[in-house]
Amino acid sequence: MKTLTKKNVLILAAILLTFGIVQAFISTGVINSFYEITIATICINIILAVSLNLVTGFTGQFSLGHAGFMSIGAYTCAIINMHMNSTAGFLFGTLAGALIATFVGILVGIPTLRLRGDYLAIATLGMAEIIRVLFLNMEITNGAAGLNGIPRFTNWLWLYVFTAGTIILINNYIKSSHGRACISIREDEIAAESMGINTTKYKVMAFAIGAFFAGVAGALYASYFYFIKPDLFGFLKSIDILVIVVLGGMGSLTGSVIAAVVLAVISTFLQSFTAVRMIVYAALLVMIMIFRPQGLMGTKEINDLLKFKSRKRDERIE
């Protein structure tokens, strides 16, 4: 195994280049602070959508509780960061938030992941609702008023590092044998089980990884927008994330990225008409499901569409 293959070097160069270009635009003021908020939203949504895609798109476990994990990350990071007002505090808070979210994910996942389809969706929804009510009633989270004045350490650098990191890590996970086990569960759980795959283990693992990155996204959110309250992480937030995953295609990471960008651009244009924005959103969701239920990309990645020749070769090897 060589790490420095030509492909990997190219990917690294592309990642650094994207970072540099946007950073240059921000420094020179081509991208003003209004568009910077859009960029931050896109990055956070990408992390959320990619991590939910691992659970829903790749492992086939329908979760409606992603916002719950996000809120755990957001509150943990906010509370730690308000006591340790430094970049180290921010990073420590992000890590702690993500780990607590993972822990809750495992705790909730072990019993509920025995359920299938609709029942799992409702159980995860219930879990997110319970988390929200707990935050609403706890002393340390300041109840319904929420936490205000969280120090801002999230900038383009951290957003980019975490977003790119999430995509790379989840992509590598999916390409590994663990990832293939997850996909086999999606395709046919009983067949996967009879081939000797410990389905519970892989389902909980996917759920925990999804929760981890949702926690990271929550931490970035709290640190970028100064202010969080429990109502921000309700049922509608979970639906928002799900819409991105479904629009992009369940089982396509690049699809999630594209959908996150497209939806953020749409909602920036519709900023001044909030009511219409939600109607467009909802109509979009129904229409995608009726006319293109596999989403924009289906289960394909963008490089599948770009390189037809190499795909043929891959198929033969598999």
Contacts with other proteins by CB under 8 A lie at 56, 62, 111-112, 114-115, 117-119, 121-123, 125-127, 129-130, 133-134, 136-137, 190, 235, 239, 242, 246, 250, 275-276, 278-279, 281-286, 289-290, 293
Q: Are 46 and 260 in contact (CB under 8 A)?
A: yes
Residue 290 or residue 317: which is nearer to other proteins going by CB?
290
Minimum distance, C-beta of residue 128 to other proteins, in the bound complex (Å): 9
Question: How many residues would you count in the chain?
Answer: 318
Residue 49 or residue 159: which is nearer to other proteins going by CB?
49
Minimum distance, C-beta of residue 252 to other proteins, in the bound complex (Å): 15
The angle at the Cα of 313, spanning 258 to 194, to the nearest 5 degrees, equals 80
What's the distance, Cα to Cα, between the start and end of the chain in Å? Answer: 18
Looking up tokens 């959508």 gives 49
Minimum distance, C-beta of residue 230 to other proteins, in the bound complex (Å): 11
Within 10 angstroms of residue 202's Cβ, the number of other Cβ atoms is: 22
Where helices occur in 188-292 by DSSP H, the ranges are 189-194, 199-225, 235-248, 253-269, 274-291
Minimum distance, C-beta of residue 281 to other proteins, in the bound complex (Å): 7
Minimum distance, C-beta of residue 142 to other proteins, in the bound complex (Å): 14
Residue 10 or residue 133: which is nearer to other proteins going by CB?
133
What is the CB-side half-sphere exposure of residue 56 using CA atoms within 13 A?
A: 31
Residue 134 or residue 302: which is nearer to other proteins going by CB?
134
Residue 159 or residue 288: which is nearer to other proteins going by CB?
288
Minimum distance, C-beta of residue 121 to other proteins, in the bound complex (Å): 7
- Closest of 310, 67, 247, 40 to residue 160, by C-alpha: 40
Residue 30 or residue 130: which is nearer to other proteins going by CB?
130
207 backbone φψ class: left, alpha, beta (φ>0; ψ -120 to 50): alpha
Q: Are 58 and 183 in contact (CB under 8 A)?
A: yes
Instruction: Report the C-alpha gap between 22 and 25 in whole angstroms.
Output: 5
Minimum distance, C-beta of residue 197 to other proteins, in the bound complex (Å): 16
Residue 168 or residue 279: which is nearer to other proteins going by CB?
279
DSSP state of 4: S
